[in-house]
Structure 1
Amino acid sequence: MSASALMQFETEKLLAAANLLADAKPAAIAWNGTSASWLGFAHDESLCAAIERETGIPTITSVLTLNELLASRDITRLGLVTPYHREVQARIIENYAGLGIEVVGDIHFGETNNFAFAEFDEAFLADRIRLAARSEPQAITILCTNLRAAPLVAELEVELGIPIYDSVAIVVWKALQLAGIDSGPLRKWGSLFQ
């Protein structure tokens, strides 16, 4: 949460990257990041507006896609699995409470090193998702775009009987929708792709 760490999420830097991507004339631009979940959802809303204004290309983010999914499915009880430390997790929970969503399965790993997020193995992640399910949420989200959880989703949804929204998978799903591309080949990433 330091000022130097938060500089990586400045709109100007992301806008410069989006302008480079725009040269390829994509059907959509996707910010595959979860920082707005603790910085505030307005961060991604203004980022998308700036990118769309600058490039003319529809823009989405992992967090705004998650919020859209939760709203469209009337989810008010959420299981939350992240690698983040307590301060970040508390801000995420507070922001979702502002949307009327109660985090009932609060699982976080207390990690602060971004590279270390990718080192959590699939067995560890599956166990933490199962822990979140014990609180009987209506859905579970794996909220971090540096975790290797997407390939676990389909099997765990069947096992637990709960929809699971991985922040990497959902932004890919939304981008494919915007591009008019069949998402069926990614069925292993969960029911969203069926």
Structure 2
Amino acid sequence: MVDAMGYTHRLGVITPSGNVVVERVTTALLSAVPGVSAHYARIAVRGAVDPFPDSYDMDGMLAAARLLADAKPDVIFWNGSKGGAIGLQHDRALADAITAETGIPATTSMLALAVALRGLGARRIGLATPFTSAYQQRLVAEFARWGCETVAETHAGLADNLSYASVPLAEIAAQLDAVAASRPEAILSVSTNFAGGLLAAEAERRHGIPVLDTTTVPLWWVLRTLGHDTAPLAERWGSVFSRKLPA
């Protein structure tokens, strides 16, 4: 259905309250996709202490999803990377709960990342993040459960959620270059408040290795699911956008 402003699809996006990257990157990416708009709800994620370190605040998530549902989006997704630390089963449960609550299809950044990795057949990964060493090791352990070996990793050592957005682009580029030296089959930029998605395509051209960013990969999944050809986005946002969804 086309609305009065000519839009055919609406995306409902749940983002952490301390996140300033998701909306900026999503707006920039969708500027090249006519007829698609994004609409946002935030949940409380602030500072360095997570009151739900091993799960989601399901009440908060579902409250955000219900508010987004009022706008009748075609899909709702959690644009956050926490599932990489607490386990993909929590993201599956979250997506199922959102759909059960709203009747709207749902996914998450990490579920989309798992789909992209499966499509690439990538088992040896490099990991670039803003996180602390302890949090990074949780990611490495979770990716191992996915069947992925982390052959190289680098992290900025930050714990405060808002601070992730402060990592300079030059430093992120250096992180991507550092893990590329080990020749992984894919490089993952993990944290949706970390601007790796802005540099993915450029890093791919330097190293010939796919770069998957947790802020942009769910947009690839959502747009493909809604029937959009994302191939024209690949030059700016990375080669994953040239790929169809795996069967």
For this structure pair, what is the TM-score category when the shorter chain's length is used for normalisation? Answer: over 0.9
Matched residue of 1:60: which SS?
Answer: strand
Structure 2 residue aligned with 1:59:
106
Structure 2 residue aligned with 1:101:
148
Give the drift of 1:2. Answer: 5.0
Matches within 5 A, 1:1-194: 2=49, 4=51, 6=53, 9-184=56-231, 186-187=233-234, 188-194=236-242
Unaligned runs of 5+ in 1: none
Bigger mean CA offset, 184-193 vs 88-97: 184-193
- In the alignment, the residues of structure 1 paired with residue 81 and residue 217 of structure 2 have an alpha-carbon distance, to the nearest angstrom, of 12
Q: CA offsets, 1:7-39, max 9 Å, x none?
A: 993111111101111111111111000111111
- In the alignment, the residues of structure 2 paired with residue 99 and residue 149 of structure 1 have an alpha-carbon distance, to the nearest angstrom, of 22
Q: Which structure's residues are more often helix, by fraction?
A: 1
Compared with structure 1, are the counterparts of its residues 5 and 119 closer, same or farther at alpha carbon in structure 2 (3 Å cutoff)?
farther
- Would the aligned equivalents of 1:28 and 1:178 in 2 still touch at CA under 8 Å? no
- Would the aligned equivalents of 2:55 and 2:86 in 1 still touch at CA under 8 Å? no
Give the drift of 1:179. Answer: 2.5
Count of equivalent residues: 194
TM-score (norm 1): 0.93
- In the alignment, the residues of structure 1 paired with residue 156 and residue 50 of structure 2 have an alpha-carbon distance, to the nearest angstrom, of 22
Compared with structure 1, are the counterparts of its residues 5 and 99 closer, same or farther at alpha carbon in structure 2 (3 Å cutoff)?
closer
Q: CA offsets, 1:111-153, max 9 Å, x none?
A: 0011111111111100100001111100001000001121211
- Would the aligned equivalents of 1:29 and 1:175 in 2 still touch at CA under 8 Å? no
Compared with structure 1, are the counterparts of its residues 109 and 3 closer, same or farther at alpha carbon in structure 2 (3 Å cutoff)?
closer
- Would the aligned equivalents of 2:54 and 2:86 in 1 still touch at CA under 8 Å? no
Q: Which structure's residues are more often strand, by fraction?
A: 2
Matched residue of 1:112: which SS?
Answer: coil
Divergent runs of 4+, >6 A: none
State the AA in 2 paired with 1:135: S
